[in-house]
């Protein structure tokens, strides 16, 4: 176990773009999970932890009804930029 920690620290120090990309993709997935949770509370039919083909409209539905429930629009606004920047940083980090 003690050999793993220096290895992880070395990897983080060598490739910060890869780590930042992973954090941004994780943040995007957390935002999607938050939006899905809010929509499931209202009876929206989706699977909570897994992607579903009908979820492409999830952000649109969230934005349509968010003002009725006093929800912030920022999870939807941050979801796609986090995912795009995260994937871009992952690719750059992997191939540099």
Is position 5 within any domain?
no
Q: Tell me how far apart the alpha carbons of residues 87 and 36 are, in angstroms, rounded to a whole number.
A: 21
What is the pTM (predicted TM-score) of this model?
0.78
- Which pLDDT does position 27 carry in this prediction? 95
For the chain, give the percent of residues with pLDDT over 70.
90
Number of domains the chain is built from:
1
Is position 9 within any domain?
no
- Which pLDDT does position 31 carry in this prediction? 92
76 by Cβ neighbours in 10 Å (0-12 / 13-18 / 19+) ranks as buried
Is position 81 within any domain?
yes
Per-residue pLDDT tens over the stretch 52-80: 666 777 888 889 998 899 999 999 999 99
- Which pLDDT does position 43 carry in this prediction? 84
Residue reference for tokens 């968010």: 66
Q: Tell me how far apart the alpha carbons of residues 65 and 4 are, in angstroms, rounded to a whole number.
A: 47
Is position 6 within any domain?
no
Is position 88 within any domain?
yes
């Amino acid at each position: 176990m003690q050999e793993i920690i220096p290895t992880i620290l070395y990897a983080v120090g060598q490739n910060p773009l890869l780590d930042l990309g992973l954090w941004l993709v994780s943040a995007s997935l957390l935002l999607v999970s938050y939006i899905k949770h809010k929509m499931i509370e209202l009876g929206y039919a989706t699977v909570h932890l897994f992607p579903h083909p009908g979820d492409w409209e999830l952000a649109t539905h969230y934005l349509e009804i968010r003002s009725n429930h006093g929800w912030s629009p920022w999870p939807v606004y941050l979801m796609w930029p986090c995912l795009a920047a995260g994937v871009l940083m992952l690719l750059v980090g992997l191939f540099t």
